[in-house]
Structure 1
Amino acid sequence: MATYFVSQGHDEIPRWQEAFKDARLIRPDDLDARLVRGDCVWVMADVPEWPERVGELQRRGAAVGVMTYSPSAAEAFQALESGARAYVHALSPPELLRQARLVIMNQGIWVPPELMARVVGGAFQALGGAGRLRSEALAELTERERAVALAVMEGYSNKEVARRLDITERTVKAHLGAVFRKLGVRDRMQLVLRLSPTHEAIADTSQ
């Protein structure tokens, strides 16, 4: 499986080469003939109509990530909504780029920690927000665990949750860990999906 960087310019950044020895820098129009299902493709956010291209690559079976020089929560959410499985700063260290590729090649999602809370909040609102939570799943949690879970899903960081609920950040982490265990999820994004109405639809489709 090959690794490609799709860019309009000539972003021959040394750390990309250090991260992925076999990677090829390629222009958008040259990728179509080379792409094989299962390839890893990084699309620069300066490529015209990059969300549409990301969606097309995802439908063709590529593991797609988006790179940018100016990360933002709004753009990260747009990337994930378009079908990308990763959103990274183009100047990230090689080790971080390798980690992101490993995650997306194993069907995971990778977003910088400082943006993840905001992306989760955007996904939560897009799925209907607090008014559409699955009450039977919430019933498994204690009152304080529910408060922490809701604040996290609304897009607040652990530090912000601690301030809102007047508890320590360590306590937030402990409650969040308990929430993850009880609901069988690994991270914030899975928590949103687990408690949203789409969970049942996804479960039914997989049976």
Structure 2
Amino acid sequence: MISVLLVDDQSLLRMGFSMVLDAEDDLTVVGEAADGATGARMARELRPDVVLMDVRMPGTNGIEATERIVADRPETRVIILTTFDLDEYAFAGLRAGASGFLLKDTDPEELVAAIRTVHAGDAVVSPRITRRMLEMFATSLPSEPAPVDSQHAAPGRPGGLTEREHEVLLAIAEGLSNGEIATRLYVSEATVKTHVGKVLAKLGLRDRVQAVVYAYENGVIRPA
């Protein structure tokens, strides 16, 4: 069973999420909290596998709570949920250590799939959020990506990535899944998975979300 903690100041939303998750054979809601401080404390006590975290709450917000949870228990995965497409806390939440960022109007099936994905060690970022983040950072990103001129590691690429690994990093930053990356690069999903692992290892990153953050912060992507 995947244990889930709900942290949201709206009781009706918590009730709705609870009904959706408890209907799944492999998911169980182990607790609910109405603010970030209580959520962080309950995460420490209940040791859930996944926390669904609201952003805007009275007192301790979801960003601060996420930082506490990740620091206290790194194995607990946090998925941040928000009502807003362009939330000023979105990027901060991912930097705080969240493994996912979804909108609250996400379909129940997508939410359930996201919980299973982050529990398996991967990360989830809504493509809508990825596009919005690109818009947010477009003015500060370089007009051209780092030069790519060979299949071997080059100083111009972050972390000494090869050309193919650099292409995979760019695709991750766009919010593409392994299947979509495989289609773009004309390789198998297994090959993409291998490249993703090498990118994360070379850059010292935990998961795909951190790869997205890294790409934005280091200007390795070119806005459309």
In the alignment, structure 1 residue 36 sits paired with structure 2 residue 46: yes
Q: What residue in structure 1 maps to residue 214 of structure 2?
A: none
Distance in 1 between the 2:181 and 2:61 partners?
43
Moved more, 20-29 or 38-47: 20-29
Query: Structure 1 regions of 5+ residues with no counterpart?
Result: 159-169, 203-207
Q: Kindly, what percent of the aligned residue pairs are identical?
A: 14
> 2:168·2:181 contact (CA, 8 Å) conserved in 1?
no
Figure out how many residues of one structure are paired with residues of the other and give that number.
173
CA deviation digits over 1:64-123, x for unaligned, max 9?
11110013386433222101111111122211111111011112101112334666897x
TM-score for the superposition, normalised by structure 2: 0.58
The Cα of 1:5 is off from its aligned counterpart by 1.4
CA deviation digits over 1:167-191, x for unaligned, max 9?
xxx99943264798378234xxx68
Q: What residue in structure 2 maps to residue 106 of structure 1?
A: 120
CA deviation digits over 1:142-192, x for unaligned, max 9?
xxx97xx2893695588xxxxxxxxxxx99943264798378234xxx686
After the TM superposition, which residues 1-207 of structure 1 pair with which residues of structure 2 at under 5 Å, given as runs? 2-12=3-13, 15-21=16-22, 22-23=28-29, 24-28=31-35, 29-31=37-39, 32-33=41-42, 35-47=45-57, 48-61=60-73, 62-72=76-86, 75-116=89-130, 130=146, 131-135=156-160, 137-138=162-163, 141=164, 149=167, 152=170, 155=173, 173-175=183-185, 177=187, 181=191, 184-186=194-196, 193=200, 198-199=203-204
Would you tell me which structure has more helix in proportion to its own residues?
1
Q: Secondary structure of the residue that 1:8 maps to in structure 2?
A: coil
Moved more, 23-32 or 98-107: 23-32
CA RMSD of aligned residues (A): 4.1
Q: Secondary structure of the residue that 1:46 maps to in structure 2?
A: coil
Query: Structure 2 regions of 5+ residues with no counterpart?
Result: 23-27, 147-155, 207-224
Q: What residue in structure 2 maps to residue 164 of structure 1?
A: none
Q: Look up the equivalent residue of 2:34 and give its one-letter code.
A: R
Q: Secondary structure of the residue that 1:51 maps to in structure 2?
A: helix
The structure with the largest alpha-carbon Rg is 1
Distance in 2 between the 1:180 and 1:116 partners?
24
CA 1:77–1:191: 2 relative to 1, 3 Å: farther
CA deviation digits over 1:21-73, x for unaligned, max 9?
24343223434156333432111011243212101111222221111001338
> 1:74·1:119 contact (CA, 8 Å) conserved in 2?
no
CA 1:106–1:183: 2 relative to 1, 3 Å: closer
